[in-house]
Structure 1
């Protein structure tokens, strides 16, 4: 791809937890060096409230965030695709770099568990992108 800033697409199942954490944390930590976005293979209705709260604790506003489906166009436009769970069935090929991380689904977790997940995803982002 030939973007001014590399496009990093985070993908999980519902685009309500893990991929939202990834995209928001990369945007927060990387100082504008990347265009971070997210999507899901089976999008939920809304971002997980505990995920929004855990990100809010870092000063990250998720009020405009909403789950959306991953599409072939999003895959084609991404320089880097990060799946938050290995083996997700994507709707097309990944022409750029594919990174497969493995983080559990925080769907029914409380805030303490989501904070731990947020911090583990943050460490992975700092290690790979920052």
Structure 2
């Protein structure tokens, strides 16, 4: 019997930048071995176009992604919840692993300012994946 896939939820306020980048990196590097979700406490209408451009430079297309609203159900369905500046808006349930990644908000910034945020998120996601799947190389 195979182990169930670990599930990770990335949460930021607008689900238009940081959480979208993190989810895209984890989906890319996890190669289907991790269930990936992202959501926002006050989702924007669209993903930040400069974030889409920065991710395209990294070889990952997130142009078709849309911000999603944070619900208690999506938190309950996740093993690991990683917040990125959503404060107290994220519901807390027992038995979940919570991490808070302090990252600069890419909202209103150009691609040049977003690149270092993207690169930091990539490194954190690689570290997370190594924790979740210690026998896999990414």
- How many aligned residue pairs are there? 128
Scaled by the length of structure 1, the TM-score of the pair is: 0.90
Q: Which runs of 5+ in 2 are unaligned?
A: 131-138
Question: Is 1:59 the counterpart of 2:59 in the alignment?
Answer: yes
Shift, 1:59, TM fit:
2.1
Q: Which runs of 5+ in 1 are unaligned?
A: none
The structure with the larger Rg is 2
- RMSD (CA atoms): 1.6
Shift, 1:96, TM fit:
1.4
**Local SS of the residue matching 2:16:** coil
1:60-110, Cα deviation, whole Å (9 max, x unpaired): 121321001100000000011000126341245364111111111110111
**In structure 2, what is the Cα distance between the partners aligned to 1:39 and 1:94?**
19
Scaled by the length of structure 2, the TM-score of the pair is: 0.85
**1:1-130 map, 5 Å:** 4-85=4-85, 87-91=87-91, 93=93, 95-130=95-130
Segments ≥4 residues shifted beyond 4 Å: none
